[in-house]
C-alpha cells in the first residue's frame, strides 16, 4: 500500500513538472548558458550508448511489456538526440510514467525506485531545457539508469547459486500427493469429526525393482505417477477421507517409496474398503505404457480398523505394514491382533535360534509314502521337528522361515542331510533298503556349497544317490532362473531324485508342468480333497496327473486321512498317497521297528512266485 501511495505522489509531481514550462511561457531560454556545448561527436556517442543499453535491457528483460517499454524509451531517446522537437521530450515523460506503472504492477521494488528517480531527474532536466536551454543530452543521461538497472539487477540474480524450488504446497510430495504429515493431520481432524467405523487402507506396489534396474529411476518415477493417477480415479467417493492439499482436496496419500494410504468410512457401505482394494489392484494389473515400453506391475493391499491401537495414526500404519509382511501370499491382507503376537513370538524365536544346538534340540520324524498299486512303501519322508523348551515340539513350517531369516538355512540343510545319511546307513545294516526324502529345502539347495556337501556325504556313508530324495516347494521350482536350473540339473546328474512338494497350494503354473524334470510331484490337500460339487475341478486334477504320468513323473497325493480320500487318489491314477490314514509323523528313533512291523502286517507277494503259480 505504501508503494502505491509513493507511486501516486510521483505521478502528481511529474505531471506538475510537465505543465510548468507551458504555464510559465517564459523566454529565458534565449539566455542559454550551454548552447555551444553539444558537438556532433557527443550526440553520436550518446546515440550509441542509448542503442546498446536499450538492446541489452530488451534482451535481459523477462517480461514482454518491459521489452516494449525499453524499445520505446530507446526510440524516444534517439528522437531527442535527433532534435525532432519538444514533442519527443513529452513522449519520454509519458513513457517514464508507463514504466513506473508497470514496475509497480510487477512488484519490483528496485525498479520502482529507479524508475521514479529517473523520471524525476529527467523531468527536472526537461524543465531546465525549456527554461534555460540546458542540453537535451542531460535528459538522456537521466534516463540511462533505467536501462542500466535492468542489466544490473538481472546480472545480480544470475550470479546467485540456483536454489532448490520450494514446495509450493505444504505437506505434499514429489507426486503432488499429501505426505505422511499431511494425512496424519487430516486423519486426526477426520476422526474427531466422524468417529464412526472406518478403515485405513494401505497399497503396496510391486515389480518396480526391475523397472528401475533396466529402464532407470526416471521411468520408475513416471510409472509411479501413472499408478497413483489410476488409484485416484477409484477414490472419488465421499466416504473416502478428504485431505487438504493447498486449495484442493485429495483422497490418496503417498507415504514414500511404493506405499500409498487412504481412509474410508463404512457408515454407508460395510465392505467399501474391500471393494476399493479390489478395484485398485485390478487397475494396476493393466499394462502401463512408459517410455514406449509396455510394463506390468502388481499391487497388494492391507487394511486395519481405525479403532485399533487406540486410533493412533502412526500405530495404525505399523499394523498395516505388519499385515502386508505377515501375509505375503494374500493379495488383500486384513490386520489381525494375532499378527502382533506372532511377531513377538518370531522375535523371541530368532533370539533363541541365535544359540540353537542342532544336535540336541532338533529331531527328525518320519511318515511313509504308500504306493496305490500294491500298498508297499515307496520311500519314507523325514520331517524336521524342534524340541522347543517352552512351546513343545514345533513342526518345520513354524520356524523354517525364521531359520532363513537368521541365516542358518545352509548349516541346517547340511545337518539334516548328514542325519538322513546316518539313518539310511542304519537301515541298510538292518537289511532294509528304503529311500529317504527330506522336505525342508528351498533356495539353499541351489548353492554350490550345498551340492558339493551332498556329494561328499553320499560318498562318506557309502550310499547310492537314489537313497536320498530332496523335496522342495513348488513355488521355487516354477520360478527358477538359469542359474537355478543349472543347479537342479547338477543334482539330477549326480543321481539324486527330486520331488515337488505342495503342488497346488500356491497358484498353479500349468505352462511349467511339462518342463519340470523331477521324479515326484506331490499334490497338496486342496487338490486331493474329494468334492462332489466340483466335477470340472476333478477333471483338471485328473489332467494334471495324466500329464505327469506322460512325463514319467510319479504323482503323490498328500493329506489322505480317510478311505474316501484314498479312493479318490486311486481313481485319479495317482502313483502313491501320504497322510494320517497310514500313520501320523513318528520319531525316527523307532523307524526300524515300525518298518519291520509294517512289512509283517502288509506282506508283498513276490512277483516271480506269483508268475510261477499262474503257470
CATH number at residue 204: 3.30.70.270
Specify whether 200 is located in the same domain as 146: no
Looking at residue 329, what is its pLDDT?
Answer: 81
**What pTM was computed for the model?**
0.55
Per-residue model confidence as pLDDT tens digits over 409-438 = 888 888 888 999 999 888 888 888 889 998
Q: Is residue 607 part of a domain?
A: no
Q: Is residue 455 part of a domain?
A: yes
Per-residue model confidence as pLDDT tens digits over 64-116 = 666 777 677 777 776 666 665 566 666 666 777 776 766 666 555 555 666 66
Please identify which residue in the block is written with the cell numbers 532363513. Answer: 404
**Residue 178: DSSP 8-state:** B
Specify whether 526 is located in the same domain as 387: yes
Contacts 24+ apart (CB under 8 A), 357-361: 358/411, 358/412, 358/415, 359/415, 361/386, 361/387, 361/388
Specify whether 368 is located in the same domain as 298: no
Burial class (CB in 10 A: 0-12, 13-18, 19+), 594: middle
- Res. 9: pLDDT tops 80: no
Specify whether 368 is located in the same domain as 494: yes
Specify whether 369 is located in the same domain as 284: no
Specify whether 323 is located in the same domain as 405: no
Specify whether 292 is located in the same domain as 432: no
Distance of CA 72 to the CA centre of its chain: 57
Per-residue model confidence as pLDDT tens digits over 246-274 = 778 888 999 888 899 999 999 898 889 99
- Res. 18: pLDDT tops 90: no
Looking at residue 203, what is its pLDDT?
Answer: 92
Q: Is residue 202 part of a domain?
A: yes
Domain that holds residue 421: 354-601
CATH, residue 530: 3.20.20.450
Question: From CA 182, how far away is CA 99, in angstroms rounded?
Answer: 44
Q: Is residue 19 part of a domain?
A: no
Specify whether 320 is located in the same domain as 384: no
Specify whether 138 is located in the same domain as 190: no
Looking at residue 335, what is its pLDDT?
Answer: 92
Question: From CA 90, how far away is CA 298, in angstroms rounded?
Answer: 72
- Res. 244: pLDDT tops 50: yes
Mean pLDDT of 332-359: 86
The DSSP string of 425-491 is HHHHHTT----EEE---SGGGGSHHHHHHHHHHHHHTT--GGGEEEEEEHHHHTT--HHHHHHHHHH
- Res. 388: pLDDT tops 60: yes
> What is the total count of domains within the chain?
3
Lowest mean pLDDT among 20-24, 35-39, 98-102, 595-599: 20-24
Per-residue model confidence as pLDDT tens digits over 143-183 = 667 666 665 554 433 333 444 444 455 555 567 888 888 89
- Res. 15: pLDDT tops 90: no
Boundary-marking domain end, from 278, 305, 335: 335
Q: Is residue 18 part of a domain?
A: no
Q: Is residue 56 part of a domain?
A: yes
Distance of CA 329 to the CA centre of its chain: 18
**Residue 515: DSSP 8-state:** G
Q: Is residue 294 part of a domain?
A: yes
b or e along 518-542 (b: 16 or more beta carbons within 10 Å of the residue's beta carbon)?
bbbbbbbbebbbeeeeeeeebeebe
Per-residue model confidence as pLDDT tens digits over 433-471 = 889 998 876 777 788 888 888 889 888 888 888 888 988
Specify whether 497 is located in the same domain as 401: yes
Average pLDDT, the chain: 75
Specify whether 363 is located in the same domain as 302: no
Question: From CA 495, how far away is CA 486, in angstroms rounded?
Answer: 15
Three-state SS at 239: coil
Mean pLDDT of 325-333: 86
Mean pLDDT of 219-233: 82
CB atoms within 10 A of CB 97: 19
Q: Is residue 17 part of a domain?
A: no
Specify whether 87 is located in the same domain as 146: yes
**Residue 433: DSSP 8-state:** -
- Res. 201: pLDDT tops 70: yes
Looking at residue 154, what is its pLDDT?
Answer: 44
Amino acid at each position: 500500500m505504501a508503494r502505491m501511495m509513493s507511486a501516486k505522489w510521483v505521478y502528481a509531481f511529474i505531471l506538475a513538472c510537465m505543465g510548468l514550462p507551458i504555464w510559465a511561457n517564459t523566454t529565458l531560454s534565449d539566455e542559454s548558458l550551454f548552447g555551444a556545448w553539444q558537438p556532433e561527436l557527443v550526440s553520436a556517442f550518446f546515440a550509441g550508448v542509448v542503442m546498446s543499453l536499450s538492446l541489452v535491457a530488451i534482451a535481459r528483460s523477462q517480461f514482454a511489456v518491459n521489452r516494449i517499454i525499453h524499445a520505446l524509451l530507446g526510440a524516444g531517446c534517439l528522437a531527442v538526440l535527433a532534435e525532432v522537437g519538444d514533442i519527443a521530450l513529452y513522449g519520454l515523460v509519458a513513457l517514464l510514467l508507463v514504466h513506473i506503472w508497470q514496475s509497480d504492477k510487477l512488484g519490483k521494488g528496485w525498479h520502482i525506485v529507479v524508475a521514479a528517480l529517473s523520471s524525476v531527474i529527467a523531468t527536472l532536466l526537461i524543465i531546465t531545457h525549456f527554461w534555460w536551454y540546458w542540453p537535451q543530452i542531460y535528459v538522456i543521461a537521466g534516463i540511462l539508469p533505467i536501462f542500466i538497472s535492468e542489466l544490473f539487477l538481472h546480472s545480480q540474480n544470475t550470479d546467485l547459486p540456483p536454489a532448490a524450488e520450494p514446495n509450493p504446497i505444504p505437506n505434499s510430495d514429489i507426486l503432488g500427493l499429501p505426505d505422511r504429515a499431511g494425512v496424519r493431520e487430516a486423519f486426526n481432524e477426520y476422526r474427531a469429526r466422524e468417529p464412526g467405523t472406518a478403515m485405513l487402507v494401505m497399497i503396496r506396489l510391486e515389480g518396480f525393482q526391475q523397472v528401475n534396474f533396466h529402464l532407470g529411476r526416471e521411468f520408475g518415477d513416471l510409472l509411479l505417477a501413472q499408478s497413483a493417477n489410476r488409484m485416484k480415479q477409484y477414490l472419488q467417493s465421499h466416504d473416502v477421507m478428504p485431505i487438504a492439499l493447498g486449495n484442493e482436496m485429495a483422497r490418496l496419500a503417498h507415504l514414500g517409496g511404493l506405499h500409498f494410504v487412504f481412509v474410508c468410512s463404512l457408515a454407508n457401505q460395510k465392505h467399501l474398503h474391500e471393494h476399493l482394494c479390489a478395484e485398485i489392484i485390478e487397475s494396476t494389473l493393466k499394462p502401463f505404457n512408459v517410455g514406449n515400453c509396455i510394463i506390468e506391475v502388481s499391487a497388494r493391499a492391507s487394511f486395519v480398523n481405525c479403532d485399533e491401537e487406540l486410533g493412533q495414526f502412526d500405530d495404525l500404519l505399523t499394523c498395516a505394514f505388519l499385515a502386508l509382511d505377515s501375509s505375503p501370499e494374500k493379495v488383500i491382507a486384513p490386520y489381525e491382533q494375532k499378527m502382533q503376537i506372532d511377531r513377538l513370538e518370531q522375535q523371541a524365536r530368532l533370539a533363541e535360534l541365535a544359540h540353537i544346538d542342532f544336535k540336541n534340540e532338533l529331531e527328525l520324524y518320519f511318515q511313509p509314502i504308500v504306493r496305490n498299486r500294491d500298498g508297499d512303501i515307496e520311500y519314507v519322508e523325514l520331517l524336521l521337528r524342534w524340541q522347543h523348551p517352552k512351546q513343545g515340539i514345533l513342526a518345520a513350517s513354524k520356524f523354517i522361515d525364521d531359520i532363513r531369516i537368521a541365516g542358518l538355512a545352509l548349516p541346517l540343510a547340511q545337518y539334516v542331510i548328514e542325519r538322513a545319511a546316518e539313518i539310511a546307513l542304519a537301515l541298510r545294516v538292518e537289511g532294509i533298503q528304503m529311500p529317504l526324502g527330506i522336505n525342508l529345502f528351498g533356495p539353499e539347495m541351489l548353492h554350490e556349497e550345498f551340492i558339493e556337501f551332498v556329494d561328499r556325504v553320499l560318498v562318506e556313508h557309502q550310499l547310492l544317490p537314489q537313497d536320498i530324495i530332496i523335496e522342495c516347494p513348488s513355488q521355487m521350482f516354477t520360478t527358477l532362473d538359469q542359474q537355478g536350473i543349472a543347479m537342479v540339473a547338477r543334482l539330477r546328474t549326480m543321481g539324486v531324485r527330486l520331488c515337488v512338494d505342495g503342488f497346488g497350494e500356491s497358484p498353479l503354473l500349468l505352462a511349467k508342468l511339462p518342463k519340470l524334470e523331477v521324479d515326484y510331484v506331490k499334490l497338496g490337500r486342496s487338490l486331493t480333497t474329494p468334492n462332489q460339487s466340483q466335477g470340472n475341478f476333478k477333471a483338471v486334477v485328473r489332467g494334471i496327473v495324466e500329464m505327469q504320468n506322460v512325463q514319467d513323473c510319479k504323482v503323490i497325493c498328500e493329506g489322505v486321512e480317510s478311505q474316501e480320500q484314498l479312493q479318490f487318489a486311486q481313481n485319479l491314477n495317482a502313483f502313491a498317497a501320504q497322510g494320517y490314514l497310514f500313520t501320523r509323523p513318528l520319531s525316527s528313533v523307532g523307524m526300524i521297528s515300525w518298518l519291520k512291523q509294517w512289512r509283517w502286517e502288509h506282506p508283498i507277494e513276490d512277483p516271480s512266485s506269483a508268475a510261477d503259480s499262474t503257470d
